[in-house]
Chains A and B, each alone.
Chain A
C-alpha cells in the first residue's frame, strides 16, 4: 500500500500549456510538500501545506500554485509551462510541520517541449 503516491509518473507537454500533478498520502500526516529536482540534481523545496494552510512559499513563479482539497492531498498546478519547468517534481509528507523526517512520493518527470 503506497504511502505517498503521485500521478502521473511521466508528463510530456508543449510550452504554454497548463498541467496538474496530483499527490496523495495515506499516512495521516499533517504536512505535505512539493520539491523540484532540476537538471543539476538539486532537490529544492517549493511549497508546503499544513492543515490546508500554505506555510512555505519559496521564490517560485506564481505560475505554480499548490491546491489542497483535504489533508491527504496536495496537487500542483502549473500554468503557461516553460522549457525551464522541465524537471522531476516530488511530493512529500511529514507527521507535523518541522517534524524532521519527510516521506517522498516516486516523482513526476515533467518534460516541456
Chain B
C-alpha cells in the first residue's frame, strides 16, 4: 500500500518555464514533507521541506505548497534550468509521536528541462 504517490513518472519542460511536480499522500498522521533530487548514480540530495503547520515554503527558485485537506503537495521550480533535470522524490514522515525518523518515499518523477 503506497502511502506516498507520485503519479507522473516523467515531466518535460522548456528551459525558463515553470516545472510543477505533484505528490499525494494517504496517511493523515504525516506532519513533515520533503523533496529530494537525484541524479543518476548518485544518492538523493535534500532540496526543500515543509511542516504541516505551513502551507508554503520557498527557497530561491524552489517552492513547496502543501494542501492538507487534499493530502497533496507540489514542488514548483521557477525558472526551470537544464541542470534541474533529475528524478525528484517526495517523502513524508511523522516527526512527532513516535515515527522515529522513518521517511516514506514516493516512486519519483523524472524531470527533463530542455534548452
Which A residues are within 8 Å of any B CB, using their own CB?
Answer: 4, 31, 33, 40-45, 48, 55-56, 90, 92, 94, 97-107
The answer for the CA separation of A31 and B102 in the assembled complex, in Å, is 11
The answer for the CA separation of A46 and B105 in the assembled complex, in Å, is 13
> What residues of chain B lie closer than 8 Å to A43, measured between beta carbons?
44, 89, 103, 105
The answer for the CA separation of A34 and B43 in the assembled complex, in Å, is 12
A102 CB contact (under 8 Å) in B95, B99, B103, B107? B103
> What residues of chain A lie closer than 8 Å to B45, measured between beta carbons?
104
Q: Is the CB–CB distance between B44 and A55 below 8 Å?
A: no
Q: Give the interface SS of chain B, mostly helix, strand, loop or mixed.
A: loop
Output the least CB separation between A38 and chain B (Å).
Answer: 11
Q: Is the CB–CB distance between B101 and A103 below 8 Å?
A: no
The answer for the CA separation of A102 and B43 in the assembled complex, in Å, is 11
Q: Is the CB–CB distance between A105 and B107 below 8 Å?
A: no
The answer for the CA separation of A31 and B100 in the assembled complex, in Å, is 10
Q: A48-B101, A98-B95 are in contact. Are A106 and B108 (CB under 8 A)?
A: no
Q: Is the CB–CB distance between B102 and A45 below 8 Å?
A: yes
The answer for the CA separation of A87 and B96 in the assembled complex, in Å, is 31
How many residues belonging to B are interface residues under a CB distance threshold of 8 Å?
23
The answer for the CA separation of A48 and B23 in the assembled complex, in Å, is 25
Additional 17 contacts, C-beta under 8 A, given A33-B101, A43-B105, A98-B101: A4-B43, A31-B101, A41-B108, A55-B100, A55-B101, A56-B101, A97-B100, A98-B99, A98-B100, A100-B49, A100-B93, A101-B34, A101-B49, A104-B43, A105-B43, A106-B43, A107-B42
Output the least CB separation between B53 and chain A (Å).
Answer: 13
Q: Is the CB–CB distance between A90 and B44 below 8 Å?
A: yes
Give the contacts of B81-115 with A (CB-CB under 8 A). 89, 93, 95-96, 99-105, 107-108
| B70 at the A interface (CB under 8 A) | no
Output the least CB separation between B3 and chain A (Å).
Answer: 11
Most buried by B among A41, A56, A105: A41
Q: Chain B residue with minimal CB distance to A99?
A: B101
Q: Is the CB–CB distance between B103 and A45 below 8 Å?
A: yes
B46 CB contact (under 8 Å) in A41, A97, A101? A101
